């Protein structure tokens, strides 16, 4: 896994949540993301390809962030990744919403959470 000693010794930015909160929040968010994707897939409409591209890119960025931040302990590169993730999640929301409003709306809590993660990542980078 990751070196929790490294992370636990970092100066935390204001409003950093307790570690126990991350797992349940991500569980709910990943469930909402999955539901949005399933609905989007099942919606019969042309012109959905860009939504799949945006979704795939943001998912890859999401999967890269933890190994870069915690594994490589590279907060600068992690910040770049999470900023790109912000952009591609927003593009995904816009595209999903244009196909079916519910699918875009389901992704808004995820977007808010990763904006918060961007703030935290930047805070850790600048404070440490």
- For 2-45, how does the pLDDT look when each residue is reduced to its tens digit (9 = 90+)? 778 999 999 999 999 999 999 999 999 999 999 999 999 998 87
Give the model's confidence band at 100: pLDDT under 50 very low, under 70 low, under 90 confident, else very high. very high
- Contact between 55 and 85 under an 8 Å Cβ cutoff? The reply is no
How confident is the model at residue 4, as a pLDDT? 82
> Average model confidence (pLDDT) for the chain?
95
Separation between Cα atoms, residue 125 and residue 26, nearest integer Å: 22
Whether residue 1 is predicted with pLDDT greater than 70 in this model: the reply is: no
Summarize the confidence of residues 94-123 as an average pLDDT. 97
Summarize the confidence of residues 37-60 as an average pLDDT. 92
DSSP code of 15? T
Summarize the confidence of residues 61-88 as an average pLDDT. 97
Nearest-10 Cα torsion for 122, 65, 62, 114 = -20
- Contact between 115 and 86 under an 8 Å Cβ cutoff? The reply is yes
- Contact between 121 and 83 under an 8 Å Cβ cutoff? The reply is no
Separation between Cα atoms, residue 84 and residue 81, nearest integer Å: 5
Pick from 112, 109, 117, 111: nearest CA to 79: 117
Whether residue 55 is predicted with pLDDT greater than 80 in this model: the reply is: yes
């Amino acid at each position: 896994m990751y070196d929790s000693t490294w992370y636990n010794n970092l100066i935390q930015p204001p409003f950093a949540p307790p570690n126990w909160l991350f797992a349940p929040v991500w569980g709910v968010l990943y469930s909402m993301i999955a539901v949005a994707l399933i609905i989007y897939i099942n919606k019969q409409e042309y012109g959905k390809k860009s939504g799949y591209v945006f979704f795939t890119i943001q998912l890859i960025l999401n999967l890269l962030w933890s190994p870069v931040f915690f594994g490589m302990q590279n907060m600068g590169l992690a910040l770049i990744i999470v900023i790109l993730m912000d952009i591609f999640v927003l593009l995904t929301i816009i595209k999903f919403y244009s196909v079916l409003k519910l699918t875009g709306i389901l992704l808004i809590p995820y977007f808010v959470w990763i904006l918060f993660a961007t703030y935290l990542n930047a805070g850790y980078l600048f404070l440490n």
